Structures are given as C-alpha cells and as structure tokens.
C-alpha cells in the first residue's frame, strides 16, 4: 500500500513543473511582444495598451497563417504598422527588434 505514494508524488511533481514551465514560457513571450510594441514590459498596462497587445497578437497570428515564409521581424513590423494605421499605437513609436 505504501509503494503507491512514490509514483503518485513523482507524477504530481512532474505536473507542477510542467505548469511552471508553461507559465514561464508564456510570460517570456508576452514580455517579448510588449517590447516589440514599445510598451512597458514590467508595468501594469492601460486598457488601450491591453487592447493594442491583443490586436497585435491577432494580427501576428493571421500574418503567420497567411504568409508563412516571412520572418518574425518582418511580421512584427507589418503588425505594428497595422496598429498604427488603426490608431492603436502612436505614429512615433520606434521598433525594438
């Protein structure tokens, strides 16, 4: 009866580590996207900035599906230009590649 706790404990530890790794990867991706947009990576975002972040991710995903051959940097430039055209980013935001 006592031998069942070892595999169960090991399995729970693996699940916790996988969840932690997933959280770290998601945070890194979010921080990298915020830097690409020229938004503060460590501060709380305003509602407009959160909306710009979501639209940027959506635009980037659509570009990734529509034009799989272009690089990540080119796709980020196009997505930023789309946001500027929509008025979601200021016109003078410099790109941070």
Residue 93 maps to a domain: no
Q: Measured in Å, how far apart are the chain's first and last C-alpha atoms?
A: 57
* Distance (Å, whole) CA 16 – CA 65: 32
- CA nearest to 92, candidates 38, 26, 18, 45: 38
pTM to 2 decimals? 0.65
Total domains present in the chain: 1
Residue 65 maps to a domain: yes
Residue 90 maps to a domain: no
* Distance (Å, whole) CA 33 – CA 35: 5
Domain with 10, as residue range(s), is: 2-85
Residue 45 maps to a domain: yes
97 residues of the chain, pLDDT tens digit each: 568 888 899 999 999 999 999 999 999 998 988 888 888 888 888 888 888 888 888 888 898 899 889 888 888 888 888 888 888 777 764 554 4
């Amino acid at each position: 009866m006592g031998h069942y706790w070892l595999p169960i404990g090991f399995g729970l530890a693996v699940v916790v580590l996988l969840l932690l790794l997933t959280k770290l990867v998601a945070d890194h991706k979010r921080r990298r996207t915020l830097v690409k947009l020229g938004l503060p990576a460590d501060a709380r975002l305003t509602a407009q900035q959160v909306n710009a972040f979501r639209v940027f991710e959506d635009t980037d995903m659509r570009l990734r599906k529509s034009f799989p051959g272009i690089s990540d940097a080119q796709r980020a430039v196009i997505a930023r230009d789309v946001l500027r055209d929509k008025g979601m980013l200021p016109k003078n935001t410099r790109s941070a590649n």
